[in-house]
């Protein structure tokens, strides 16, 4: 019995069984119905495998088209954002709707280095009573 999950093993097994049945047709004449049914199953399996390969190829083409469309869409979205910046103004808070950070005034700088942090005074050591 072959592994039903393996297409090549299964179809190879079926083809071997059909070849053996054809060679022994004179000895086993009552197997015509079973042989015909197996031939039909083999043809159907091969057709489905071809269809599966076709779908895989179509999936790859669709994936490539999707990637290209996403690249084009990102470029167009950036153009819309740039147009919004120029029409609305770079400082307008309405740019947030376009997921663009508006230019805002900077916070005043803190004085750095003029007043250094105080240095802690050393504490005198206590004698150890032990």
Q: What is the DSSP code string of 15-31?
A: HHHHHHHHHTTTT-GGG
Q: Are 45 and 5 in contact (CB under 8 A)?
A: no
Residue 79 makes CB contacts below 8 A (sequence gap 6+) with none
Closest CA to 17 of 28, 6, 63: 28
Residue 97 has pLDDT above 60, yes or no: yes
C-alpha distances (whole Å) from 119 to each of 75, 111, 114, 115, 116 are 55, 18, 15, 12, 9
- Please report, rounded to a whole number, the percentage of residues in the chain having pLDDT higher than 90: 46
* pLDDT tens string 31-52: 889 999 999 999 999 999 999 9
Confidence bin at 5 (pLDDT 50/70/90): confident
Position of tokens 């004449």? 29
Q: Report the C-alpha gap between 69 and 85 in whole angstroms.
A: 24
CA dihedral 62, 68, 74, 80 (to 10 degrees): -100
- Domain extent listing, the chain: 7-98
Confidence bin at 121 (pLDDT 50/70/90): confident
């Amino acid at each position: 019995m072959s592994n039903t999950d393996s297409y090549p093993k299964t179809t190879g097994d079926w083809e071997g069984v059909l070849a053996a049945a054809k060679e022994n047709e004179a000895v086993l004449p009552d197997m015509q119905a079973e042989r015909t049914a197996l031939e039909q199953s083999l043809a159907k399996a091969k057709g489905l495998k071809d269809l599966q390969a076709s779908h895989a190829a179509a999936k790859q083409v669709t994936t490539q088209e999707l990637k290209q469309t996403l690249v084009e869409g990102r470029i167009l979205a950036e153009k819309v954002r740039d147009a919004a910046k120029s029409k609305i103004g770079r400082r307008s808070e309405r740019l947030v709707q376009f997921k663009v950070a508006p230019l805002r005034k900077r916070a005043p700088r803190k004085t750095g280095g003029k007043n250094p942090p105080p240095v802690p005074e050393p504490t005198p050591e206590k004698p150890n009573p032990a």
